[in-house]
Chains A and B, each alone.
Chain A
């Protein structure tokens, strides 16, 4: 049986990814897990961009380019975030958010 892949299918996946990311971001204490959750959210949005472009405005390319930008930015952000996390770990030997509250008012 041939299943026709509809826009709704994509959106369900991206929504699930999005809320997984949000859930992970709020519940996990490990900085690396937070970073992964953030990546999940970003990718959810990237899928949305591509899908809306593909199904609603097939003759245009803005959505695709936006998702490309999103991937590039996510890569850069990951590099910076990993660097920060490594530095934090080197300095205080801790990686859980509960232990990192030096900057509070």
Chain B
């Protein structure tokens, strides 16, 4: 499988070509270079996936982990060295498929969405850079390579959020995203260093004796790594950057802030899953609690947002919460015992990437048609945009958990895993799933139903060009079939053995009933020409509505924490110390040198006789010294 190197090499090449020579190219050529190289990557990923999953299993019934490329980069000690390479195992191959598929769809879609945009070539260059980084992250052979690429995706996310660099909101959002995730990555780095110190290796499978020796340290290392994952995956309270990141171009939101980069945290926890299960089960449960709270919080906020991309952003946060919960409620490596969550989480990651990318790209079509993100500029669009409407509906049904769409199957596995952990967790997650169905259909009705907006008089919305609707159709097709046409448990499971997904009838029935009820409520509230119930509720609970609309003031709380506490209590004294102690010391050194120079300066009189006198004096002293000593 040596050809897998091209999966990484092609995007980085196209990035270099586009970044260095892109500005001299016409838009079409630049776009074609990016898209074609990505298409080649996609084909290679599929070949890899087919080859990998159809390969014969080992005697224990596992899919072999192969490392076609690995070279030592920075050696520290005999066993501790940073490597760069490609590792293929079930989840990394699965991620290759997800990333290349969504990225290719976004590349094609952007042809239409970004048409005529200034910096079109730059946009494609950044997309290539992002794809390279993300692919490098998932195939990492060790935790440090993962960290390197982890930061690279952070940078490309920063660059793409700030793509419209003349817009102050976009600049602020890109900085916020970078700083918040970087702040969280500090935890990740410390976690890696602790791990490297105690395990004497950066690989994912340390030796038994080192594990035994580490004892209580490992849960801390894994917990700190999870902090980094929580930052990237927008877990409460580090989620604040993701809604703002929607300032970037919509296809970017689809690729980075819905399908791929934000699930890197989930992927990280899944990567370390055997260690979590074996040595830090309590930490893993904390992951579940944080994920659960995040899922609930984001779902409540999503119910009242008026910007369609914000709704989708909070829905993404909520769904990532689901994946984290699924990992967190796992109690063993056996999928039949307590390890179902691992498979469920990865399954949901896969299906969510597809339908959430579809939702974002659909939202992009809508924004393209009405030139606004606000729901108040929309309504009744189903007549104008049939393809977008149908594909969006499919994605909504999938995320709401209606069979036979893919989201139903993966969410059902998550709920089953939660019920196995504790009925309370199961019920909470079922309710959140119902909320998901509610707010998604609120969004759907507000965009496509209701009364036709007055603004359409000046500017009739129209269906997007084929280059934009084609990716929608492809993703919708995947969303329809991915749940039942593919034996996901055969590919990915917590212990690597074949696991047959079977629906838990009780769980499935409850979740369908809840979802259908939520959709009915949403229909009753939002499908009509006017929305009396919603308006009445908004008036009645105006304070709650306001709080939820302002995301429960999390941004304000963070501003308070940073400005009033961190800046005032830590940064200001440090700045004082810097200015008055360190700077003053340096100033003193400069002053002393200067004063010494001033004192010695008259010696240089310019009179030759004076110099010769000094010279003679020196000679006499030296001679005297030589004679006397």
Contacts and interface: CB of A to CB of B under 8 A. Distances in A.
A26 B606 contact: no
Nearest to B602: A105
A98 B601 contact: no
Interface in A54-105: 97-98, 100-105
Given A29-B609, A100-B608, A103-B606, 9 more contacts: A26-B612, A97-B607, A97-B608, A97-B609, A98-B607, A100-B606, A101-B605, A104-B605, A105-B601
Secondary structure dominating the interface of B: helix
Contact of A104 (B606, B609, B612, B616): B606
B536 interface: no
A34 B604 CA distance: 20
Contacts of A34: 608
Which of A98, A102, A104 counts the most chain B CB atoms within 10 A?
A104
Nearest 6 A-B pairs (CB), nearest first?
A104-B606, A101-B606, A105-B604, A97-B608, A105-B601, A104-B604
Contacts of A26: 609, 612-613, 616
A103 B607 CA distance: 9
B275 to A, nearest CB: 69
Contacts of B613: 26
Nearest to B600: A105
B612 A25 contact: yes
Contacts of B612: 25-26
Contacts of B609: 26, 29, 97
Contacts of B608: 34, 97, 100
Contacts of B606: 100-105
A87 B604 CA distance: 23
8 contacts: A26-B612, A97-B607, A100-B606, A100-B608, A101-B605, A104-B607, A105-B603, A105-B606
A73 B361 CA distance: 90
B620 to A, nearest CB: 12
Nearest to B604: A105
B596 to A, nearest CB: 13
A44 to B, nearest CB: 15
Nearest to A22: B616
Contacts of B603: 105
A104 B601 CA distance: 9
Interface string B582-622: 00000000000000000001011111110011001000000
Contacts of A25: 612
A87 B73 CA distance: 65
A100 B607 CA distance: 7
A97 B607 CA distance: 7
B12 to A, nearest CB: 58
Contacts of B604: 104-105
Nearest to A102: B606
Contacts of A29: 609
A104 to B, nearest CB: 3
A59 B601 CA distance: 53
A22 B601 CA distance: 26
Nearest to A97: B608
Which of B605, B609, B613, B616 counts the most chain A CB atoms within 10 A?
B609
Contacts of A103: 606
A100 B605 CA distance: 10
Nearest to B608: A97
A4 B604 CA distance: 50
Contacts of B607: 97-98, 101, 104
Interface in B184-233: none
A25 B619 CA distance: 15
Nearest to A101: B606
A98 B605 CA distance: 10
Contacts of A101: 605-607
A4 to B, nearest CB: 32
Contacts of B616: 22, 26
Contacts of A100: 606, 608
Which of B603, B604, B606 counts the most chain A CB atoms within 10 A?
B606
A92 B616 CA distance: 29
